[in-house]
Amino acid sequence: MSNKSGLLVCFASPSGGGKTTVCHKLLERNDDYFFSVSCTTREPRPDEIDGKDYHFLNKKEFEEKIESGALDEYEEVHGNYYGTLHSAVQEALDNKQVLLVDIDVKGAITLKDKYGEQCLTIFIRPPSMEVLKERLINRGTETESSFERRMHRISMEMNFGKHFDRQVINNSLSDTVEEVETIIENKRTGIMEAMSNGS
Scanning 1-9, 22-30, 99-107, 178-186 for contacts with ligand 5GP by CB under 6 A, the matching segment is 99-107
107 lies in the site for ligand 5GP, by CB under 6 A: yes
Q: How far apart are CB 82 and ligand 5GP at their closest, in Å?
A: 3
Phi, psi at 184, each rounded to 5°? -65, -50
Q: Tell me the per-residue interface mask from 38 to 67 with ligand 5GP, x by CB under 6 A, - otherwise.
A: x---x-------------------------
| In contact, 156 and 43? CB cutoff 8 Å | no
Give the whole-angstrom CA distance, residue 150 versus residue 62: 22
Which contiguous run of DSSP H or E holds residue 124? strand 119-125
82 lies in the site for ligand 5GP, by CB under 6 A: yes
What is the number of the residue whose Cβ is closest to ligand 5GP? Answer: 107
Hey, which residues does 168 pair with through a beta bridge? 124
166 lies in the site for ligand 5GP, by CB under 6 A: no
Residues 6+ apart with CB under 8 A from 8: 36, 89, 92, 93, 99, 101, 111, 115, 118, 119, 120
Residue number, 7 or 71, with CB nearest to ligand 5GP: 71
Which residues ranging from 118 to 157 are in contact with ligand 5GP (CB under 6 A)? none
Scanning 80-88, 131-139, 175-183, 189-197 for contacts with ligand 5GP by CB under 6 A, the matching segment is 80-88
Scanning 2-10, 97-105, 168-176, 185-193 for contacts with ligand 5GP by CB under 6 A, the matching segment is 97-105
Tell me the CA distances in angstroms from 150 to 71, 153, 162, 166, 178, one per residue in order: 24, 5, 20, 23, 28
Q: Is 147 helix (H, G, I), strand (E, B) or coil?
A: helix
Give the whole-angstrom CA distance, residue 101 versus residue 108: 8
Residue number, 75 or 165, with CB nearest to ligand 5GP: 75
* DSSP structural state of residue 50: B
Question: Contact residues for ligand 5GP (CB under 6 A)?
Answer: 38, 42, 73, 75, 77, 82-84, 102-104, 107
